[in-house]
């Protein structure tokens, strides 16, 4: 196991009714920028609850609605301008990962002299940020408990993740009841995203992380049990709670502490979203089994066989048989139990027009991952997934 620093300063209020803790925002000043998406929080009544609480503590509230799924740099720029013009003290994101990610870069941009896109492509420029608070409404990205933010410039076909410890939320309200209304498509995509974060941490070349491996297997089993349960009954509290806590822990540094390697399926998917604006979790679910088939070889077969035995309970047969069965089972879970499309064509990617360009960028972004990937390898994975 390698040395590591594990630091998550986010105070998490988890469970029913925890929204009342929003009054703690008072600690950070008197002016808040409320950032949200396309309107789901208004339909659900969360908006009214949040506004009432913020008014109760006398905050001046400025609003930035309309953050898109796959949040755009144009929206971030608007938020930064609002912060600078009004001398905002803190940013409150109410929504899913897209809203939270936008809020983080707005918080960084508010105290930065240049264009916020620089903070997306040069994380080292992020030297401070306004405090970020979140009310999570969708279990998927783990953005509520980490320092990552993923922003797109779709006109340039660019989608990049940035990171700063200053982006880690000061507080996150995680009420599973707020996810009852999440659509079947987003519930499935979110579950696939949590699983993908876990796979990126699980398939590592760093020896010695027995505990981290078991954490990963637990998170995967949680998704396998509760993803379909939440689809079956969207108001199953235990299912929504399990997925919500799994989402935060899959990507807050716990699962890969001392054992992390570069991620690879995420860079491949980010290119798909950058060029085709598809749903992140769907892209991951489509690519993952093809990446697994590519990655299976004499050096990795034991790891894949462990995955099959420990996560899927596949016994009998040699390592290769178990490994292959586990990969088949993974693909089947995504398509048959989460009902996610199984091919890129089904999500609207008709041809291989941009594959070479996308593959070159994804391969560069995944240097040092579990198995080495050349641009040609990535292109092959895209073709297999088409």
The site for Zn ion (CB under 5 A) is made up of 193
Q: What is the largest CA-CA distance in the chain?
A: 66
Nearer to ligand NZQ, 195 or 224 (CB): 195
- 101 lies in the binding site for ligand NZQ (CB under 6 A): yes
User: Running DSSP on this structure, what letter comes out for residue 150?
Assistant: E
- 220 lies in the binding site for ligand NZQ (CB under 6 A): no
- Give the one residue of 148, 248, 256, 259 binding ligand NZQ; rule: CB under 6 A: 148
The partner in contact with residue 247, picked from Zn ion, ligand NZQ, none with C-beta cut-offs of 5 to 8 angstroms by kind, is: none
- Give dist(CA 289, CA 279) in Å, integer: 17
Nearer to ligand NZQ, 99 or 322 (CB): 99
* Count of residues interacting with ligand NZQ (CB under 6 A): 32
Give φ, ψ of 149 to 5 degrees: -150, 135
- Give the one residue of 133, 160, 178, 202 binding ligand NZQ; rule: CB under 6 A: 178
- Give dist(CA 234, CA 243) in Å, integer: 12
- 179 lies in the binding site for ligand NZQ (CB under 6 A): yes
DSSP one-letter string for 89-140: -EEEEEESHHHHHHHHHHHHHTT-SS-THHHHH-GGG------EEEEE-SSS
Q: Residue 70 CB, nearest distance to ligand NZQ (Å)? A: 4
Q: Torsion angle, CA of 119/121/125/126, rounded to 10 degrees?
A: 50
Query: Are 224 and 311 contacting, i.e. CB atoms less than 8 angstroms apart?
Result: yes
Query: For ligand NZQ, what does the binding mask look like between residues 261 and 300, x meaning CB under 6 A?
Result: -----x-------------x--------------------
Q: Residue 85 CB, nearest distance to ligand NZQ (Å)? A: 24
Nearer to Zn ion, 171 or 268 (CB): 268
Nearer to ligand NZQ, 15 or 38 (CB): 38
- Give dist(CA 339, CA 335) in Å, integer: 5
The pair of three-digit structure tokens given for residue 17, joined into one six-digit string: 């009714």
Choose the binding region for ligand NZQ from 10-18, 33-41, 73-81, 217-225 (rule: CB under 6 A). Answer: 33-41
- 194 lies in the binding site for ligand NZQ (CB under 6 A): no
- Give dist(CA 84, CA 109) in Å, integer: 9
The partner in contact with residue 198, picked from ligand NZQ, Zn ion, none with C-beta cut-offs of 5 to 8 angstroms by kind, is: none
Tell me which H or E stretch contains 156.
none
> What is the layout of strands, in order, in the sheet containing 31-36?
11-14, 171-174, 132-136, 90-95, 31-36, 60-64
- Give the one residue of 123, 142, 308, 365 binding ligand NZQ; rule: CB under 6 A: 142
Query: Are 383 and 351 contacting, i.e. CB atoms less than 8 angstroms apart?
Result: no
17: helix, strand or coil: coil
Name the site residues for ligand NZQ (rule: CB under 6 A).
37-40, 69-70, 95-99, 101, 137-138, 140-143, 146, 148-150, 178-179, 181-182, 186, 190, 193, 251, 266, 280
């Amino acid at each position: 196991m390698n040395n590591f620093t594990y630091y998550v300063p986010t105070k998490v209020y988890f469970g029913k009714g925890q929204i009342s803790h929003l009054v703690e925002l008072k600690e950070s000043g008197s002016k808040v920028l409320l950032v949200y998406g396309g309107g789901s929080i208004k339909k659900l009544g969360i908006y009214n609850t949040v506004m009432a609480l913020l008014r109760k503590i006398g905050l001046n509230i400025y609003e930035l609605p309309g953050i898109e799924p796959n949040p755009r740099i144009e929206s971030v720029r608007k938020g930064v301008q609002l912060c600078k013009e009004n001398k905002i003290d803190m940013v409150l994101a109410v929504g899913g990962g897209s809203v939270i990610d936008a809020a983080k870069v707005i918080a960084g941009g508010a105290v930065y002299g240049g264009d916020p896109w620089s903070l997306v492509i040069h994380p080292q420029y992020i030297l401070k940020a306004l405090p970020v608070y979140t009310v999570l409404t969708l279990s998927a990205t783990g953005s509520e408990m980490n320092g990552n933010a993923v922003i797109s410039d779709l006109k340039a076909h660019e989608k990049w993740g940035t990171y700063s410890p200053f982006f880690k939320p000061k507080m996150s309200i995680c009420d599973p009841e707020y996810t009852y209304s999440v659509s079947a498509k987003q519930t499935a995509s979110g579950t696939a995203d949590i699983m993908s974060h876990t796979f990126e941490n699980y398939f590592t070349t760093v020896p010695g992380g027995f505990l981290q491996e078991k954490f990963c297997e637990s998170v995967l089993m949680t998704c396998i049990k509760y993803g379909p349960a939440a689809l079956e009954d969207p108001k199953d509290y235990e299912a929504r709670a399990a997925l919500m806590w799994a989402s935060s822990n899959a990507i807050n540094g716990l699962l890969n502490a001392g054992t992390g390697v570069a991620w690879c399926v995420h860079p491949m998917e980010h290119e798909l979203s950058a060029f085709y604006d598809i749903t992140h979790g769907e892209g991951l679910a489509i690519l993952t089994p093809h990446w697994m088939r590519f990655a299976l070889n004499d050096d990795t077969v034991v790891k894949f066989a462990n995955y099959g035995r420990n996560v899927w309970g596949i016994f009998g047969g040699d390592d290769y048989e178990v490994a292959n069965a586990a990969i088949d089972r993974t693909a089947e879970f995504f398509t048959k139990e989460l009902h996610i499309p199984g091919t890129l064509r089904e999500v609207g990617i008709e041809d291989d027009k941009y594959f070479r360009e996308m593959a070159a960028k994804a391969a560069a972004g995944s240097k040092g991952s579990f198995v080495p990937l050349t641009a040609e390898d990535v292109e092959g994975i895209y073709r297999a997934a088409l």
